[in-house]
Structure 1
Amino acid sequence: MNRSDVVAGVVAGAVVIPQAMGYAGVAGLPVQVGLYTCIVPMAVYALLGGARRLSMSTTSTIVALAGLAMAAAGTPDDPDEAMAAVSTLTLLTGLALLLFWLLRIGWVVDAISDTVVSGLKIGVGLTIIVDQLPHLLGIDAGPDGFLRGVGHVVTHLGDANRATVVVSTLTLGGLWALHRWAPRVPGPLLAVAGGIAATAWAGLPDRGVELIAPVPSGLPVPALPPLDDAWTMLPYALAIALMAFMETIAVGRGTREPQDPPILAGRELLANGTAAVAGSFVATAPPAGGFSQTMVNVEAGARTQLSSLVTAGVAVAAALFLAPVLSDLPEATLAAVVVVAVTGLLDVGELRRIGRIDRAELVVALITGAIALVTNLLVGVVAGVFCTYYLVLRRLNHPVLTEQRPAPGLLVVRIEGAMYTMNVRAVQAELLRLAAEDPRPRVLLLDLGATLDTSVTVLDAFVAAEQQLAKDGVELWVARVPEAALAKARRTAAWPAWRDSGRVHPTVRAAVGAYEGLAAEGPDGAA
């Protein structure tokens, strides 16, 4: 047994378990849901997953979406009914991930832009912080949503409980101090221990400080998830599956060492989906690989998934022996743990970096985050997916054209990227513009070596460009035409004229040689 994995598993458990319990509260669920999520999904991923150091329970992004799903289905007041409802959501999430695996469409999800995810994380982080403010202040919970939540807090500041504010302030200050000056110390564990001790020592309930709902002792009893609200929860489950896979594979790749096996999308979909399905039978939240908890695992010395099995064992021990003690935990303490955990999502430095590289991507990130704030996270996720594919189409629809003039009267234009129906008109217009610049060329040679294939629309556009250039006294040649495109071009009516007039060449060098030979014959031969 690797001693470093055992130590890492214990240390990670000290951070992950309180954090997961707090995340359960974000979704309006009993805190034991977070505790159970650190057992079954974590153990299943440890057996099936490809990332050796990844720690899987749940994340702030996932629970924010889960909270929306629970609200849409009408979050039950009874803890048992709430746990039954979340088991349905987790089952649907797992089945969606397994469907992605069966259809082998991990590449579609994996293509979501990191820029979009950065914007979503900021929206998630701000929404969760605002959602936790009532617990930090000791006031009644407000309506869902960032803007309405801010308005509720502002109008109820006068109702804040002083003892609760003191507990919140001390806990937040202590957590941030440890994060700043002693990052290896398990701050969440110390915060939970301190909150429980303060409850007994200072009589916090008598001072108006709310405690979390009682945590039942023992392990969860497996049960079949009900399907009553399945159709209501399905859109949220699909969004959660999308985000869970994105986070899991990003964390896995981000913590992979050179000697580790590659992180494969298919394997991660299978492992994450199976972990969710297994967890649904014991009322866990939808699981995903979390970056902060995984970094705790890595920094504590984890080498293999044995560390996650140890963390799951720590969670089992907590469920069996510590439930009565955990029931004395102030809500404000747990809220402070959540707030400090999600502040890592507010990465302004990453936005600055994106802005320096590409302002258009920064705008997309800000729009995605703003949509998530103004509406809700589900709409933000959908908008983020569309924004990602907007960025892809934007790049594809504006291929780079590089130009050279290797000989007088010869303009060589290389098209960097694929051509297809949506961008060929832009390429056609750019070619006509370049041909009209002084000095006007006699021959415009297209280097098509960077393209892959063609279509009827692309071929028609080239014929139209050739006719327009001919009117202006410019002849269109092509070189390095891909074999697939050449096969299609041979079937067109215009092909014999192109072939017989010597305008198709195997290489750019051959085309330049042919042009120089014609130019040597005189103006009539060159044109």
Structure 2
Amino acid sequence: MPYQRQWLRGDVFAGLAAGAVVIPQAMAYATVANMPVEFGLYSCMLPMVVYAFMGGSRSVSVSTTSTVATLTASTMLGAGVLSGSPHAPSELMTLTLLVGVILLVARVVRLGSVVENINEATLLGLKAGVGLTIAAGQLPKLLGVTPDPNHEGFFRVLASALRQLGHAHVMTVVLSLASIGLLWFIGRAYPKVPGPLVVAGLGIAGATFGGLTGLGVTLIPAVPEGLPVPGWPAFDQVGHLLPGALAIAMMAFLETVSAARGIRRREDAQIEPDRELSALGLAAVAGAFFHALPPSGGFSQSQVNTRAGARSQVSGLVTATLAVVVALLLAPVLSKLPEATLGAMVLVPVLGLINVRALRQLWTFSHREFTLAILVMTVALTVGLLPAVAVGVLLTLYAVLHNANQPHVVQVVDHVGISTDGPEGELVHPADPLVLRPQVALYTANLRANTRMIRIMALSADPPPKTLVVDLSRQLTISTTILDGLRDLDGDLAAAGVRVEFAAMPAAALALARRWPWWQDVEREERYRQV
């Protein structure tokens, strides 16, 4: 749909409103990734512009998210890149570039719909683990104690902070509680008000005019003025960064698609996974050379954009422009932001990742999926976030293969000229010919389970039928593997004295089957019925 002039006012307002939330949050999330706050600001520039031109969603807001920031920190530490290391910026560029390349390769081989099969319970458990890990990581800022930036893992970080509880700085704790309370109150009572901007503004005002620094409150490191200077990635740690880049690419894609679909209006085009892979991949590649964190679409910031009236990605261009203005003009002001305020700005939104209500619903719906979510969360808290992603993917693949290997075969019964299906795996009553139909298309993963069930049902009938008709109406396509499996079934039942016939194969699959010598024999022997 071409751009309409009447959208411009709403897009400009929405871009400014989203920027008031996105920019402070992205700067806060940069600290979660153990990076300078300005890297979060840079993440709101070029990646957002690239997505505005390439993405499929009209109003999703792309910068970085708490999940991606946490995985970035885990990946960097796993590669031996310590917080504050002079090599950290160039290694971050390498990581962001790797994420972009992975997303683009996934687009080329059309993996979008495959990645979307990741179980929702897996994501629920992973996000809960991320939320708790980030929350623990903010405790030193909120307490005013010295953090150990190279400690990783929920329990180690939590224990390190709690050991210093007796040394907590009173004024910092008061500021932290006030910031948390104000963010919570604004979010509940005035959801349209940009809480992070209000709290950041009050924190800066308190440090500038209220004497907070004189009371011992720590400020964030100085934010450099100006736009990001292009750099070049360091490729010496590619092998160590690659596993984390794979996890980040997967989570960034899933978060973006989920956000895009969650805010999509009825009149908007459907979200195409492969297009999102391209847009995110190009955004990451472009941002990598300008010190941006791996980009991702966040639901909360996209929701602000939509509620403020965004009708197109012009709102994203406005937000990116606002980020440029902030970098050029407001860096000295941002340098007055207390660390406790920044920690509160991280803590409050990430607590929303711990979705207790959804976990409770999952327990009611399926104990098995609830167990999966808790297992992934436990791995995230005890072993680490990257192993949790790997475990989640492996468990999802196991669940998919397990479900695929379940047989779905019914007896087709004729009642006064009307065909009805019996229960799966059960014979309603003896029939000759006995008509059985796989309820799903046969493919490599489910072939043996379904042909085994057909064999069992045919041979367990009392009296046994002389003729079995296999209804292949669900078989939209076919392969040599499927034909070989049907041939083996034919041979086994023929040895037991049962004549096997086939019926109702769709035209496209039938045309392929007729190229195979065994199927040619089936038709020559008049054992195929076209219903």
TM over 0.5: yes
Match of 2:421 in 1: none
* Structure 1 residue 352: Cα displacement: 3.8
**Map of 1:408-419 to 2, 5 A cutoff?**
409-410=431-432, 411-419=434-442
* Structure 1 residue 42: Cα displacement: 1.1
**Map of 1:359-374 to 2, 5 A cutoff?**
359-374=367-382
User: Residues 184 and 438 from structure 1, CA distance in 2 versus in 1: closer, same or farther, beyond 3 angstroms?
Assistant: same
Match of 1:520 in 2: none
Match of 1:70 among 60, 70, 76: 76
The size of the alignment, in residue pairs, is: 506
**Map of 1:209-228 to 2, 5 A cutoff?**
209-228=217-236
> Is 1:506 paired with 2:506?
no
* Structure 1 residue 391: Cα displacement: 2.5
Match of 2:391 in 1: 383
Instruction: Give a deviation string over 1:76-134, Cα, whole Å, max 9, x none.
Output: 56576433332222222222222333344333333333333222212211211111122
> Is 1:448 paired with 2:467?
no
Match of 1:126 in 2: 132
* Structure 1 residue 323: Cα displacement: 1.4
User: Residues 404 and 339 from structure 1, CA distance in 2 versus in 1: closer, same or farther, beyond 3 angstroms?
Assistant: same
> Is 1:150 paired with 2:158?
yes
Letter in 1 for 2:472: L
Letter in 1 for 2:140: P
Instruction: Give a deviation string over 1:256-311, Cα, whole Å, max 9, x none.
Output: 22332333333322222222222122211111111111001011111111111111
> Is 1:431 paired with 2:454?
yes
Match of 1:115 among 111, 121, 126: 121
Residues 144 and 172 in structure 2, CA contact (< 8 A), matched pair in contact too: yes
Match of 2:200 in 1: 192
* Structure 1 residue 20: Cα displacement: 0.5
Unaligned runs of 5+ in 1: 508-527
Q: In structure 2, the residue corresponding to 1:302 is in which secondary structure?
A: coil
Residues 407 and 453 in structure 2, CA contact (< 8 A), matched pair in contact too: no
> Is 1:478 paired with 2:484?
no
Letter in 2 for 1:35: L
More off after superposition, 341-350 vs 487-496: 487-496
Distance 1:438 1:105 in 2: 44
Letter in 2 for 1:479: A
> Is 1:25 paired with 2:47?
no
Distance 1:170 1:325 in 2: 21
Distance 1:247 1:375 in 2: 23
Match of 1:271 in 2: 279
* Structure 1 residue 401: Cα displacement: 2.0
Residues 24 and 197 in structure 2, CA contact (< 8 A), matched pair in contact too: yes
Residues 478 and 512 in structure 2, CA contact (< 8 A), matched pair in contact too: no
Match of 1:84 in 2: 90
> Is 1:256 paired with 2:264?
yes
More off after superposition, 226-235 vs 322-331: 226-235
Match of 2:169 in 1: 161
Residues 23 and 40 in structure 2, CA contact (< 8 A), matched pair in contact too: yes
Residues 47 and 295 in structure 2, CA contact (< 8 A), matched pair in contact too: yes
Distance 1:506 1:110 in 2: 37
Instruction: Give a deviation string over 1:417-442, Cα, whole Å, max 9, x none.
Output: 13244433322443344346675452
Q: In structure 2, the residue corresponding to 1:9 is in which secondary structure?
A: helix
Match of 2:340 among 328, 332, 352: 332
Match of 1:517 in 2: none
User: Residues 336 and 197 from structure 1, CA distance in 2 versus in 1: closer, same or farther, beyond 3 angstroms?
Assistant: same
* Structure 1 residue 30: Cα displacement: 0.5
Letter in 2 for 1:5: D
Residues 459 and 489 in structure 1, CA contact (< 8 A), matched pair in contact too: no
Q: In structure 2, the residue corresponding to 1:214 is in which secondary structure?
A: coil
User: Residues 103 and 486 from structure 1, CA distance in 2 versus in 1: closer, same or farther, beyond 3 angstroms?
Assistant: closer
Q: In structure 2, the residue corresponding to 1:366 is in which secondary structure?
A: helix
More off after superposition, 354-363 vs 184-193: 354-363
Letter in 2 for 1:481: M
Instruction: Give a deviation string over 1:329-384, Cα, whole Å, max 9, x none.
Output: 11111111111111222223333444454444333333333322222222222222
TM-score scaled by length of structure 2: 0.86
* Structure 1 or 2: more helix by fraction: 1
Unaligned runs of 5+ in 2: 416-429
Residues 97 and 284 in structure 2, CA contact (< 8 A), matched pair in contact too: yes
Residues 416 and 451 in structure 1, CA contact (< 8 A), matched pair in contact too: no
Instruction: Give a deviation string over 1:191-220, Cα, whole Å, max 9, x none.
Output: 111212222455333433322111112222
Residues 406 and 412 in structure 1, CA contact (< 8 A), matched pair in contact too: no
Letter in 1 for 2:470: L
Residues 66 and 236 in structure 1, CA contact (< 8 A), matched pair in contact too: yes
> Is 1:348 paired with 2:370?
no
Match of 1:510 in 2: none
More off after superposition, 258-267 vs 284-293: 258-267
User: Residues 147 and 359 from structure 1, CA distance in 2 versus in 1: closer, same or farther, beyond 3 angstroms?
Assistant: same
* Structure 1 residue 404: Cα displacement: 3.8
Residues 33 and 83 in structure 1, CA contact (< 8 A), matched pair in contact too: no
Distance 1:44 1:75 in 2: 28
Letter in 2 for 1:43: V
Match of 2:65 among 52, 56, 59: 59
Distance 1:5 1:134 in 2: 39
User: Residues 468 and 68 from structure 1, CA distance in 2 versus in 1: closer, same or farther, beyond 3 angstroms?
Assistant: same
